[in-house]
């Protein structure tokens, strides 16, 4: 069945780059876009939906989240707001709470978070493991994540769990754990942050990523979050799809990214929730780096599932225009996931769209914190 959507004051298509139409319409056939153009030229369809002269944007692509967890770290957040630094040490508390949760409890927690994302306009979400940190628990986390998305990421190398030797743990992650997890995962990720006692250095991260690649997984990296480090260089060298955080970058890091297919995924909710300096998105964009925005939704560094909030932060704190931030939250996220079927509203692409209760996408940053998403295809 074909559906013609009209009453669109503004349609952001991202086709070509940053494409915006006014008085627009589009036609879908099931999951796929058939036609996009001016309302006056719209073809007939089986059904017609009037959207009330609102703005329509591509569904948000949240390319970085850690939704499979139990427990609460509100007190850790409050301590940070009182001056405590973040070092990844709280991950062990979430690991314990997650291990203690039943499959049904964990599944219900993920379902509620995915529903929260959909309600805020996210149509694709990547979900990482990383709070199980044993063979059985990481495999369980990924099996549950796979019930909600095909963009699943094995993050056994999140931190070294308490009581386990560092070398022994890297052997486990690259051996038995990888074998158990690869069937449920599309990607592998590593928290590469030599400055943190809990995370992994360049050699360990290289071992993890190389093993993942040999197992057929695509590569992603958490890098340069807490200080300058080797994460970006390693991600570019190994051809990772994305390196995420990118808060502390040298000129060499920016050059390397600009000359690569690796996307720099910025997670401004983390800087908001850890009271840290924001990454310099303007510097990356001006150098020609492809930038994505994502939530990083997790109980430690950013317990927000809201892509509109990330867009508002990116505009207010990171030097992006609203249009650039929206592109990064849609087409940029698609590139970070190496997907060509989403992030763009054009014939042949997936009909993943989000309706704003606003005349223009500018309201995504102009009206922060309001329930601006009122409709859309809502499909993670």
Evaluated on CA atoms 317, 323, 328, 329, the torsion sign reads: positive
Taking the complex as a whole, how short is the minimal distance between the CB of residue 73 and ligand NIG, in angstroms?
7
Q: How far is CA 34 from the centre of its chain?
A: 27
**Total of chain residues touching ligand NIG, rule CB under 6 A:** 13
Instruction: Note whether 193 binds Fe ion by CB under 5 A.
Output: no
**CA 289 to CA 296: how far, in whole Å?**
20
**CA 61 to CA 55: how far, in whole Å?**
18
What is the helix (H) or strand (E) element at residue 263, kind and residue range? strand 263-266
Q: What are phi and psi of 117, to 5 degrees?
A: -65, -45
Taking the complex as a whole, how short is the minimal distance between the CB of residue 270 and Fe ion, in angstroms?
8
| Pick 120 or 298: Cβ nearer ligand NIG | 298
Instruction: Note whether 276 binds ligand NIG by CB under 6 A.
Output: no
- The strand pairing partners of 124, in sequence order, are 61
Q: Which of 296, 311, 333, 353 binds Fe ion (CB under 5 A)?
A: 296
Q: Which stretch binds Fe ion (CB under 5 A): 81-89, 280-288, 294-302, 336-344?
A: 294-302
Place of tokens 């997907």: 339
| Pick 13 or 152: Cβ nearer ligand NIG | 152
Instruction: Note whether 271 binds Fe ion by CB under 5 A.
Output: no
Maximal C-alpha separation, the chain: 67
Are residues 65 and 294 in contact, defined by beta-carbon separation less than 8 angstroms? Answer: yes
The answer to whether 73 is a known ligand-binding residue is: yes
Instruction: Note whether 299 binds ligand NIG by CB under 6 A.
Output: yes
Are residues 222 and 193 in contact, defined by beta-carbon separation less than 8 angstroms? Answer: yes
Instruction: Note whether 225 binds ligand NIG by CB under 6 A.
Output: yes
Taking the complex as a whole, how short is the minimal distance between the CB of residue 347 and ligand NIG, in angstroms?
36
Dig out the tokens for 54 from the structure: 């609102």
- With CB cut-offs between 5 and 8 Å by kind, which of Fe ion, ligand NIG, none does residue 94 bind? ligand NIG
- With CB cut-offs between 5 and 8 Å by kind, which of ligand NIG, Fe ion, none does residue 299 bind? ligand NIG
Residues 37-56 that bind ligand NIG (CB under 6 A): none
Reported as half-sphere exposure (CB side, CA atoms, 13 A), residue 92 has a value of: 10
Q: Which residues bind ligand NIG (CB under 6 A)?
A: 88, 90-91, 94, 191, 222, 225, 270, 296, 298-301
């Amino acid at each position: 069945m074909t559906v013609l959507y009209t009453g669109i004051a503004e349609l952001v298509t991202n086709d070509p780059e940053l494409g915006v139409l006014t008085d627009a319409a589009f036609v879908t056939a099931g999951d796929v876009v058939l036609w996009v153009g001016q309302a006056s030229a719209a073809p007939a369809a089986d059904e017609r939906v009037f959207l009330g002269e609102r703005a329509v944007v591509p569904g948000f692509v949240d390319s970085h989240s850690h939704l499979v967890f139990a427990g609460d770290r509100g007190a850790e957040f409050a301590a940070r707001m009182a001056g405590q630094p973040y070092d990844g040490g709280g991950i062990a508390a979430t690991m314990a709470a997650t291990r203690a949760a039943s499959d049904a409890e964990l599944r219900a927690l993920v379902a509620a978070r995915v529903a929260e994302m959909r309600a805020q306009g996210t149509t694709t979400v990547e979900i990482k493991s990383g709070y199980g940190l044993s063979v059985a628990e990481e495999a369980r986390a990924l099996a549950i994540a796979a019930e909600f998305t095909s963009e699943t990421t094995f993050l056994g190398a999140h931190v070294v769990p308490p009581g386990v030797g560092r070398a022994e743990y890297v052997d486990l992650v690259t051996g038995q754990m990888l074998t158990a997890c690869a069937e449920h995962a599309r990607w592998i990720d590593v928290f590469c942050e030599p400055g943190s006692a809990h995370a992994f250095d360049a050699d360990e991260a290289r071992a993890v990523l190389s093993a993942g690649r040999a197992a057929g997984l695509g590569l992603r990296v958490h890098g340069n979050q807490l200080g300058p480090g080797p994460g970006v260089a390693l991600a570019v060298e190994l051809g990772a799809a994305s390196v995420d955080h990118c808060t502390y970058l040298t000129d060499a890091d920016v050059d390397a990214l600009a000359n690569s297919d690796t996307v720099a995924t910025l997670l401004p909710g983390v800087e908001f929730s850890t009271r840290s300096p924001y990454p310099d998105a303007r510097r990356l964009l001006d150098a020609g780096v492809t930038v994505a925005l994502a939530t990083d939704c997790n109980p430690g560094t950013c317990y927000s599932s809201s892509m509109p909030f990330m867009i508002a932060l990116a505009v207010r704190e990171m030097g992006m225009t609203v249009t650039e931030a929206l592109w990064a939250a849609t087409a940029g996220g698609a590139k970070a996931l190496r997907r060509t079927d989403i992030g763009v509203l054009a014939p042949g692409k997936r009909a993943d769209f989000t309706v704003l209760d606003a005349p223009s996408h500018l309201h995504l940053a102009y009206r922060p914190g309001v329930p601006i998403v009122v409709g859309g295809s809502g499909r993670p």
